[in-house]
Chain A
């Protein structure tokens, strides 16, 4: 009897566990087409004043509650709050309910592997209703399989709901990805309000200690690195062995951008820039090889961090090393040493090393002696798109509209006065501050809450004047003069790439991991012996081009010529 009972219990648990595993809803893939037809019914029918329109909306608000899920980047900030559940997300949720009667849930996606994670979610048919990514090729690949909603008709039908979005982004950005041949629009680009991109930083206190002037040319920069290495004992004492004159990560194209761009032809045509522009690390541009040759020389002279290529993308090893004060110079986002409040590089460094500080410098001159570098284009940033599994496209559009509202963005970036910002009495500028312990739920996990303001990257306050005034005050625990200097350094001789709108390039979705081939080549070429440099670089480049790089270049060229004819410069 006992045995029987046991058997039955065991069996029952197994059945239950099976049922529990298989119970997840499986019908996520169908509703896209159905919902599209429901919205395509014209809303301008002779509706009565107090009756909802065909979209189920009355006075711009849904009569029945709708639910959408929205992606948000998760930076896993140790002192911060949960990316998908904090005072900011609650505020957004409340506002969306109040304005549109739309319930919002957030789906966190790791910032540093966002493309991979979004792809995985899409592949699992599990993606949030509103996704955003920096990688248009993901959207495009998915669209080719019928996995993305075409936004063109959706925008046409719901234009009346989207005034703020059209004001903020403008037609040119909204329709930037419109395919001229098919008339489809798979994603809406976001916009940058700050275009400063990459700076070179050097240790000011080391320069002072060794009596070196701030470098202004490549040669001076190199001489400075050599001096750092030679004087490791003076600068680091017992830790002299840990001296790293110049540090990078495996993302060489980003972390050596100032060098690479200074080797490019400053008179490059828009066409050439675009044709080689699939790779935003400028791998196939004309001067890149020589730039990497310089890095190769430095590496062999022991001026570059030996571990740069072996660290994982999201490893903090390099940052920790910089914060600990072992690094003399590096290149990164124009405001990198200021990011992270009390965990920022400059703040941590200053607390560990007396007078320790990184300042932005310009020392990579091009052949004309200017500091040509590329800023961001202010059109086009993260691309928002709706997967076909989205069954609330109109409510999702409302969310984009909501995020374009200047007052919403202002609040998300600066929060409440006294909690996340103060007003500078002298200038009237808004001075950002990180929320204190008492208001920990208002902790800002990402600078200016960029992870929530999905179509705005950069400070955007109510008026452009206030925005400009407050730019330098956007970092807690940082002297605004340092920020101002960094912005100026990043914008000196900076060129913004122009927006090219020639439709989708199919070769870009060919399923080859070109980015890894690029980074592998960068890494191998830099670490090669000086004598082997050409062989290693040429082999890597040949493999990159053969694996699909050349096909992309060719197709981009054809697309350019089809749209702009023989012109090589954009107006």
Chain B
């Protein structure tokens, strides 16, 4: 983020020179710290990527670990891609990729427009007090951990003791398997995600709406535009850059996704649709100590994420929008 704002204030391209550095040295000094942080905690650890190609040994320095070995005709042969081949030969892993893509896509489709719509609606409210209250209530779920939300979900959607199903059965209806049937579970999962994040996600859009010149609205009113016309022709175009940047960043995470949410919400009946890469990596990598294997999986995941990000950025620039850099 810090870099982003920097780009904005820089304005027209300027040649880097010592005077400039000297004049604004405080700013550069401040910038240096996050950069050092990134180098130490994000870039230096990257050398451990080689674990994906080696047989991980705890009692050996990284460089001395042997390259991954496979048994071939009774002898051990070096095959650095062993763990990648391993991963793709596992049906569990293929299923995890599919589920990750599926759940993230659904999240994107349902979860991405929600905060935009919410911000637009909030913006139209003229009663300030009410707006503040609604806003605060909408932010709240963001601060709940997924463990708590998962418990709430069981309480509300559970088959026997769930609030909704209790009401349904009270009126003589059939229980709806919100969390114990795979396809229903996906819906519940996505809904919970939207509920948790739409309020918080709307902040950035509200900020961006606040930056739109009010004269535009006044001019539109004079021209006789109604609310929807103003929304469509002024507000939405006004926040378009923000939408595009966020969309690109979301696309970059299409192969990733958090761990907590699927892990807390899964149960044995929906495992087939709930197992995603992050939970798979946790189970196999951390719990069963297959570090090389999961590093390979993680590397694959990151590379795919990067490809998505670059493609989205490229397309957006082609369409005349600003990319993220």
A→B interface (CB under 8 Å): 3-4, 7, 10-11, 14-15, 18, 22, 29, 32-33, 115-116, 119-120, 122-123, 125, 137-138, 141-142, 145-147, 241-242, 244, 250, 305-307, 309-312, 317, 388, 509, 511-513, 516, 519-520, 522-524, 527, 543, 546-547
Contact = CB atoms under 8 A, between A and B. Distances in A.
Given A241-B169, A543-B91, A547-B91, 10 more contacts: A7-B30, A141-B290, A145-B59, A146-B59, A306-B160, A310-B179, A311-B267, A509-B288, A512-B288, A513-B283
B286 interface: yes
A39 to B, nearest CB: 17
A407 to B, nearest CB: 38
A48 B92 CA distance: 63
Interface string B9-35: 000000000000000001001100100
A14 B33 contact: yes
Contact of B58 (A142, A309, A311): A142
A395 B43 CA distance: 40
Contacts of A543: 91
Nearest to A524: B269
Interface string B54-68: 001111100000000
Contact of A11 (B30, B287, B288): B30
B161 interface: yes
A309 B154 CA distance: 12
Interface residues of B, number: 41
Closest 5 CB pairs of A and B: A146-B59, A523-B268, A511-B290, A310-B267, A147-B58
A146 B289 CA distance: 12
B145 to A, nearest CB: 14
A123 B286 contact: yes
Contacts of B158: 307, 310
B36 interface: yes
B293 interface: yes
B289 A513 contact: no
A388 B269 contact: no
Contacts of B293: 511
A142 B289 contact: yes
A512 B92 contact: yes
Given A310-B158, A310-B179, A527 B289 contact: no
A317 B159 CA distance: 13
B92 to A, nearest CB: 7
A25 B92 CA distance: 37
A117 B268 CA distance: 20
B284 A511 contact: yes
Interface string B290-306: 11010000000000000
B127 interface: no
A142 B57 CA distance: 9
Nearest to A117: B287
Q: Taking each of B60, B150, B264, B267, which has the highest tally of chain A beta carbons within 10 Å of its own beta carbon?
A: B267
Contact of A18 (B33, B59, B287): B33
B289 A145 contact: yes
Interface string B177-213: 0011000000000000000000000000000000000
A146 B58 contact: yes
Given A116-B287, A142-B289, A145-B57, A15 B33 contact: yes
A316 B201 CA distance: 34
Q: Most chain-B Cβ atoms within 10 A of its Cβ — which of A123, A145, A512, A547?
A: A145
A388 B284 contact: no
B156 to A, nearest CB: 13
Nearest to A137: B288
B325 interface: no
Interface string B75-107: 000000000000000111000000000000000
Given A7-B26, A33-B59, A310-B159, A141 B269 contact: no
B95 to A, nearest CB: 10
A295 to B, nearest CB: 14
